[in-house]
Amino acid sequence: MLDKTQKDTDSMLEQARQILADNDRGGYTVPTHGLYPYQWNWDSVLAAWGFASYDLDRGWQEIETLFASQWPTGMVPHIIFHKPDPGYFPGPDVWGTQCAPQTTGITQPPIAATFVRKMFCADRSFGEPRARALFEPLKNWHRWFMDYRSEGGRICITHPWESGRDNAIDWDSAMARVDTSEVGEYTRRDTSHVNPEMRPKKEDYDRYISLLYLGRDTGWDEAQIRAKSAFRVADIGMTFILLRACQDLLWMATELGEDGQEIAGWITQLERGVASMWNEDIQAYDSYDIHAQQFTGCLSNASYLCWYAGIENSVMLEHYQRISAELDYPVPSLDSNNPNYDPLRYWRGPTWPFFNSLIGIGLEDMGHKDEADNLRAATDKLLRTEGFYEYCHPGTGQGAGGEQFTWTAAIWLSWVNMESDKWA
C-alpha cells in the first residue's frame, strides 16, 4: 500500500509537467523561479529530456535554443541571459562577453549529445533532421574541449561553476591559491532565496568572483586564462561526461552518414585520460589539480559516472554498494565517511536526484540492473515524499535548495517514472 505521505503517480505526473510549464519562458526553461532566472546549460538539456517524455518537439526546441548561443570557438556557455533580471549577481554586465543575447564566458558539462541521441531514438523519423542540424554544433563543442581543456585526455575546468558541482570539495586546495584582494563588494542573490547554511560560504564566493574577473579581463581568451589563473583542475565528472558524449556523437555520425574519425580519436584520448585519473590512495576515480600535480582526494558522486562513460570497475561498485547500504537516499555528492561531509551544504554532501539519473543510466548500461532499479526506487520514494527540490539530505531525505526545480521534475518524467527502454 502506498504510504500516505507519498503522492500517487497521477499527481506526480501532473505536478512534474506543471513545473516544466511554470518554468518555461518560451523556447527555454529556467531552473526555478527567483533563484535561477536564466537558461542554464545542462539544466536545459535535462529539461529537454523531461519535455520529450510527452512533447518531443518542445524537447528539441530547448536544445536548439541553447545551441543558438554557441560561441564561434565552439564553446556553449553555462548561462544565457535571455531577459534582464537586475537583481541577479553576477549578471551579464559583470561577465562582459558582448554576446547577443549575452552569456557567461564559461561552459558546463557536455551532456547534450547523449540526450540528443535519446530523443533521436525516441522517434527517428521526427528526430533525424533535428539531430542532423545539431551534429556539427555538438562536434564543434567537443572539439573546443579537446583543443582548449584537454591535459592528456583529462578535461579541465577553469572555474568551479563549469563543473556543475560548484562547491564540491574537489576544488578546495586549488581554490585556496586564488587571490581575492581585488574582488571588492558585491551582493549575492542566492542567500536571499535559500538558507545561507546550504550555500557556498563568502570566502568561496569571493574566489568564484575573482576567477570570473580574471576571465573577463582577458576577454575570455583561453590561452591567457591558462597562463594567468591559479585554478586549473582536471574534473573527473567532466571527463567521464565528455567521453560518454563522444561515444554518443560517434553513434550519431554512423547513423547520419557523417565522418566519425575525429570523434573516434577523441574517444581514444579520453579513455587514456580517464585511466590516469585513478587515485590509488583512495582506490577511486578522482579529480586532479594540474598546477599542484596531485589528486584532490575526493570520492564524490562524479566518481560513479565511470559506468555512464562505459567503464567497468569492480572497486567502484564496492564503494557504491557500501554507500547505498549506509544511506536511505543515495547518492551523496561526497562520500558520507569523508570528514568534510556536510549533508545539506551545496555539493558537499547532499543527494542530487538529477545526478542519480546519470549514475543510474550508467549502472543499467553496464548491466548492474539491481543497483539501477534500487537507485530509481529510492529516488522515486524521495521525490514522492519530499517533492521536487534541487537537492536533498541523503539520510533523512529533507529537501533543500530551490523548490519546484526543473531538472528534478524532468528526470522523474524521463528516468524515474518511464520505462528505461523508451530511451535505449
DSSP letter at 416 equals I
What is the distance of C-alpha 263 from the center of its chain? 22
State yes or no: is 390 an active-site residue: yes
Residues 6+ apart with CB under 8 A from 267: 243, 246, 247, 250
Longest dimension (CA), the chain: 61
Instruction: Give me the torsion for CA of 404, 405, 411, 417, rounded to 10°.
Output: -10
| Closest alpha carbon to 307 in 328, 296, 293, 321 | 321
Tell me if 296 sits within 8 A of 289, measured CB to CB.
yes
- CA gap 233, 154 in Å, rounded: 9
Instruction: Give me the torsion for CA of 49, 336, 281, 246, rounded to 10°.
Output: 0
Pairing of strands 399-400, 391-392: antiparallel
State yes or no: is 162 an active-site residue: no
Q: Take residue 284 and report the three cell numbers written for it.
A: 577511486
Tell me if 218 sits within 8 A of 158, measured CB to CB.
no
Catalytic residue among 166, 262, 271, 326: 166
Buried b (16+ CB within 10 A) or exposed e, 149-173: bbbebbbbbbbbbbbbbbbbbbbbb
3-state secondary structure of 128: helix
Catalytic residue among 235, 371, 390, 403: 390
| Residues classed as catalytic | 166, 390
